[in-house]
Amino acid sequence: MEIVSGISIKKIFLDNQNWYNFYSNHNGKLRPAIINNVLKMLSCGTRLMGYTKYLCPDHRDHYLVVKHSCKSRFCSSCGKKATDMWVANNYEKLPDTTWQHITFTLPNKYWDIFWLNRDLMGLVPAITANIIKELAHKKKVDIGIFLAIHTFGRDLKKNYHIHLSTTLYGMSYDKKMIKKLYFHHELIKKKWKFFITDLLRRKYKSDELILPKSWNIKELRDFNFILDSLYSKKWVVHLAKSSNDRKRNIEYFGKYLKRPPIGETRIKFYDGRNAIFRYLDHSTKKMKLIKMAVAEFIKRLVCHIPDRYFRVIRYYGLLANRRIGNDLPAFNRLLSLANVDSKKKEKVTFRSMFIQAFGRDPMECSICKKEMMKCWVYYSSKSFLGSMHNRIAQGLL
């Protein structure tokens, strides 16, 4: 096969029945979330996902059919829209103040534990948030925190870590004043190491932990030996420089949260058998190319698809749902930001994105320029899509 241009994840999955072959070889071993999200991505923008028909009120023979998108995080095109919506919504929501970005990482020997015990992925975020909240508590203030769970590195390997952003100003408990905070790197790192080690030890003692066979654990003493040896190693907790650029902070999170693990612009080569993509090597700070067989490429991508209802983005402190209605406005008033950015951002829709991309309104009749009206909507069911999986995966539809 010739090298193709405009390489997309969807194209790679469908070409040579790559996804169908991968699915067949791993049948019964793939999580339902993987199958559902890949199926949505392959069906995105086709009539299989459903469609809406619009008619011009004066020219009934002039109509427009808009095929529904899949809204899957694994779909590059839907991920772009979801990212724009998240950025727009949070730009209004988050305080315009000084923020600090903190990255919590783990020794690589722990990475496999999170794939064998996926419930752990949902427990760690609260640990990181509580570390920061506890430090703020010593100053007797509340702060705003939002974080993202990442499961991959730039080379798509398994690498569970947390990206957290916190306000560096806190609100006193009586809501009458604000205080500036400073977080000590070594103190955060010590607490992080302690709480993760304690979590794993408790899970093991309660017989809730599946361990890699390579660890060769026979009793608690063996497990404690490994925990102690890893505890003594260097754990990387990176505190970025504080920033007043709220927009940049939000966009940094957004570009990773609502899209597939790899941006399609990073895929540089595909010949039907292998894929090559570029990534930034953090150790050398240089861009590198990595080549892998298509089956391995698919494997590395799909293992990072979160389970249904799993919240990749989480909010704590002043940004928690139960507090954002009353406490956040009080915080903004203390920051003298009550009226900042009060203008409502335009909702990101298919229509607004089309206008921005092509400079014309797709809902406008090309003859009389009147707005076309919705006249018919067809929704696809999950059971219908599921029944068509094999045909879709083989490119028969």
> Phi and psi at residue 312, in whole multiples of 5°?
-75, -35
Q: Give me the pLDDT at residue 341, please.
A: 44
Letter string b/e over residues 230-261, b meaning 16 or more CB atoms within 10 A of that residue's CB: beeeebebeeeeeeeebeebbebbbeebbbbb
User: Comparing 103-112, 245-254, 257-266, 344-353, which segment has the lowest mean pLDDT?
Assistant: 344-353
Average the pLDDT over 47-70 and give the result.
86
**234 Rama sector, left if φ>0, alpha if ψ -120 to 50, beta otherwise:** beta
Asked if the model's pLDDT at residue 62 lies above 90, the reply is: no
Average the pLDDT over 95-114 and give the result.
93
> Phi and psi at residue 163, in whole multiples of 5°?
-105, 120
Rounded-to-integer distance, Cα 279 and Cα 267, Å = 10
Q: Give me the pLDDT at residue 320, please.
A: 92
Q: Give me the pLDDT at residue 394, please.
A: 86
User: 279: which 2 tokens?
Assistant: 């990534």
Mean pLDDT of the chain: 87
Q: Decide if 37 contacts 303 (C-beta within 8 A).
A: no
Q: Which of 29, 21, 181 is CA-nearest to residue 99?
A: 181
Q: Decide if 114 contacts 160 (C-beta within 8 A).
A: yes
Average the pLDDT over 383-397 and give the result.
84
Q: Give me the pLDDT at residue 375, please.
A: 86
Average the pLDDT over 313-317 and give the result.
94
- Ranges of each domain in the chain: 81-262+310-334
The pLDDT > 70 percentage for the chain reads 94
Q: Give me the pLDDT at residue 378, please.
A: 86
Q: Give me the pLDDT at residue 346, please.
A: 55
pLDDT tens sequence across 317-376? 999 988 888 899 899 888 875 344 444 455 566 677 678 777 888 888 878 888 888 888
The pLDDT > 90 percentage for the chain reads 53
Asked if the model's pLDDT at residue 316 lies above 60, the reply is: yes
- The more confidently predicted of residues 88 and 214 is 214
Average the pLDDT over 166-184 and give the result.
92
pLDDT tens sequence across 121-135? 999 999 999 999 999
Q: Give me the pLDDT at residue 342, please.
A: 41
Rounded-to-integer distance, Cα 35 and Cα 43, Å = 12
